[in-house]
Amino acid sequence: MKTLITGANGFIGAALRKKLSAESGHQVVSVTRRADTDAGDERYVLDLCTERLPEGSLTGVDAVVHTAARVHVMRDRAADPLAECRRTNRDVTLRLAQQAVNEGVKRFVFLSTAKVHGEETEPGQVFSELDVPAPEDPYAISKLEAETELQELGAREGMEVVIIRPPLVYGPGVRANFQTMMRWVRRGIPLPLGAVHNQRSLVGLDNLVDLIGLCVHHPAAANQVFLAADGEDVSTTQLLRLLAHAMHRPARLLPVPVSVMQAMGKLAGKEPVLRRLCNNFQLSASKAQRLLGWQPPMSLQQGLALTVRTFLENE
């Protein structure tokens, strides 16, 4: 089998490339924005926002896995963030998918986001693939638009489309907010997060890559949408304690009531940050388990331990 991966030196793409390359008989073609030292597979170095893959580069490819994206930017300085997200996450995706159709690719696997469902769940509520999407930010809006147009293209042209919606992904090499949390814990900074009783779904990198790999070839994955999650939801307080335990450090968490933090966050203009730290965001990955027989190969605790070990080695 031959699979082309975009964003193949990114956080998710690199792990997927490593997994598929190790499978017997699986040939991987990588698309990256920059060259790296791993030259073990066929590759194209280009920026899909401004360049097209050379004509014929998808001939003989069985599946495309599109992980490259303009991710959620916390301090977006773009004059029109939605337009920028649409240009990268929607328009590039559709251009690549049309080329895949033209060159006979059978399956297109698109890495979307669980944020297309919204930013939070009510207590006791769990998002499933049947819920009506309600994206709120430019990143999620652009991803949903890409999903919709991809599905229309696939139905019209006969190409199988598989959409995967992960929540926050953690794992070795994770950056952004998760890396910041690990730094807080490592430095022993007292945090007012010792009384947060929310529930949030996460997915470990190894677990997500395992699901993507299954969606590349499993017959039942054709034209389906899947949510991805570890199946072990945690509160922010529990997550910080697990990270501290993996670092063999005390968790310095102050039991400040959430209502007090929210009031302080409003005054400080940090409401979005507090929302992510304190609200619920729960998903069900039961569809992937039922249709594909997928089970996350790594537990939350195992995944966090591996994440922390890599973080400490590189700090």
Query: Which residues are catalytic, by number?
Result: 139
Neighbours of 183 (CB within 10 A): 12
Determine how many CB atoms are found less than 10 A away from the CB of residue 198.
Answer: 21
Instruction: Report which residue type is found at 87.
Output: R
Q: Using CA atoms, how far apart are residues 260 and 238, in angstroms rounded to an integer?
A: 19
Q: 3 Cβ partners below 8 Å, 6+ apart? A: 20, 26, 27, 28, 29, 61, 62, 63, 64, 65, 216
In this structure, the number of other CB atoms found within 10 A of the CB of residue 169 comes to 20
How many whole angstroms separate alpha carbon 162 and alpha carbon 226? 8
Structure tokens at 162: 């598989």
Task: Please answer whether residues 125 and 177 qualify as being in contact, where contact means their C-beta atoms are separated by less than 8 angstroms.
Answer: no
List the 107-111 sheet strands across, edge first: 42-45, 27-32, 2-6, 63-66, 107-111, 160-165, 225-227
Q: Tell the burial category of 254 from Cβ atoms under 10 Å away from its Cβ (0-12, 13-18, 19+).
A: exposed
- For 70, left (φ over 0), alpha (ψ -120 to 50), or beta? beta
